[in-house]
């Protein structure tokens, strides 16, 4: 692991072009995360870890994300709470896992639900402490009346579990809304649907530099022959969150486990080096 803003050991880097026009070869416009040299044992800022980090979700799936904030071991003055903001969908807050705090209000212990082997700043092998929580079966989720948000604060030394149904086809961005962290790489992109399910931008939308003038509302169209598309997603239920047991047995579900960290000093470094 390297020391900086990251998601799953990668520092998000924006593509240089628009993914809608390059879905058949994203390497033309972005750095592929499978090709970056990102040493797990780096002990300082490493810009080689920058890449276009993204997830794929099948249209209509329920997506459950667990995001852990490694912080910096919960020491006083270290680590940040991150306001995680997701574009393209609202989501349900199924659970917030908190650290424990001392009488002065500072963190004294990371949340024990996550097992972070070794040093607390090296979570390459992170997972649930209780194996029975794997595959989405997180205990303690609010499946009755969870809050519906577009942003949720991720506490230092804790985690969040969120769910959304991937009903909005396209490319979207999710990120920490502290701009310093966003620029440092605390974010990820995600693609909902296959290319033939994703509406294309209007014909006169600039693919590179240029000016876009909206003189009429554009027709919705899918890639291919330019006709107006119909992308009514084939969902398996309503938009209300379901329990893990019901989703795993009756609906497709995507599970992702992400880790996130940002250290103040290294974030500043990343800004200066950009």
Beta carbons within 8 Å of 237's beta carbon, 6+ residues apart: 250, 251
Nearest to 262 by CA among 178, 151, 188, 150: 178
65 beta partners: 162, 256
Stretch of 50-58, 123-131, 181-189, 201-209 contacting Cu ion, by CB under 5 A: 181-189
Under rule CB under 5 A, residue 178 binds Cu ion: yes
**Tokens 């769910």 found at:** 163
Under rule CB under 5 A, residue 176 binds Cu ion: yes
Nearest to 8 by CA among 74, 77, 42, 55: 55
**Tokens 């990251």 found at:** 6
Number of chain residues interacting with Cu ion (CB under 5 A) = 5
Stretch of 6-14, 78-86, 100-108, 245-253 contacting Cu ion, by CB under 5 A: 78-86
Q: With respect to Cu ion, which residue has the nearer C-beta, 55 or 181?
A: 181
Stretch of 163-171, 175-183, 206-214, 221-229 contacting Cu ion, by CB under 5 A: 175-183
Contact present, 168 and 234 (Cβ < 8 Å)? no
Under rule CB under 5 A, residue 181 binds Cu ion: yes
Stretch of 33-41, 77-85, 217-225, 240-248 contacting Cu ion, by CB under 5 A: 77-85
Under rule CB under 5 A, residue 6 binds Cu ion: no
Under rule CB under 5 A, residue 82 binds Cu ion: yes
Nearest to 76 by CA among 112, 107, 116: 107
Q: With respect to Cu ion, which residue has the nearer C-beta, 2 or 82?
A: 82
Q: Which residues would be at the binding site for Cu ion (CB under 5 A)? A: 82, 176, 178, 181, 186
């Amino acid at each position: 692991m390297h020391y900086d803003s990251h998601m799953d050991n990668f520092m998000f880097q924006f593509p240089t072009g628009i993914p809608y026009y390059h879905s058949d070869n994203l390497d033309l416009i972005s750095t592929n995360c499978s090709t970056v040299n990102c040493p797990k044992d780096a002990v300082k800022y490493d810009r080689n870890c920058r890449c276009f980090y993204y997830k794929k979700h099948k249209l209509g799936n329920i997506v459950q994300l667990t995001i852990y904030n490694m912080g910096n071991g919960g020491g006083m003055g270290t680590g940040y709470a991150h306001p995680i903001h997701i574009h393209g969908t609202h989501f349900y807050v199924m659970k917030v896992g908190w650290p424990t705090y001392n009488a002065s209000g500072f963190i004294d212990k990371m949340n024990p639900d996550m097992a972070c082997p070794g040093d607390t700043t090296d979570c390459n092998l992170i997972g649930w402490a209780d194996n029975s929580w794997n595959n989405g079966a997180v205990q303690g989720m609010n499946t009755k009346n969870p809050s519906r948000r577009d942003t949720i604060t991720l506490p230092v030394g804790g985690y969040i579990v969120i769910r959304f149904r991937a009903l909005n086809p396209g490319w979207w961005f999710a990120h920490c809304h502290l701009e310093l962290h966003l620029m440092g790489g605390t974010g990820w992109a995600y693609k909902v649907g296959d290319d033939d399910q994703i509406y294309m931008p209007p014909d006169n939308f600039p693919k590179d530099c240029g000016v876009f003038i909206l003189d009429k509302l554009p027709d919705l169209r899918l890639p291919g022959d330019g006709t107006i598309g119909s992308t009514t997603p084939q969902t398996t239920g309503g938009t209300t969150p379901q329990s893990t047991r019901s989703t795993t047995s009756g609906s497709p579900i995507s599970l992702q486990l992400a880790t996130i960290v940002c250290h103040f000093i290294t974030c500043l470094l990343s800004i200066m080096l950009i």
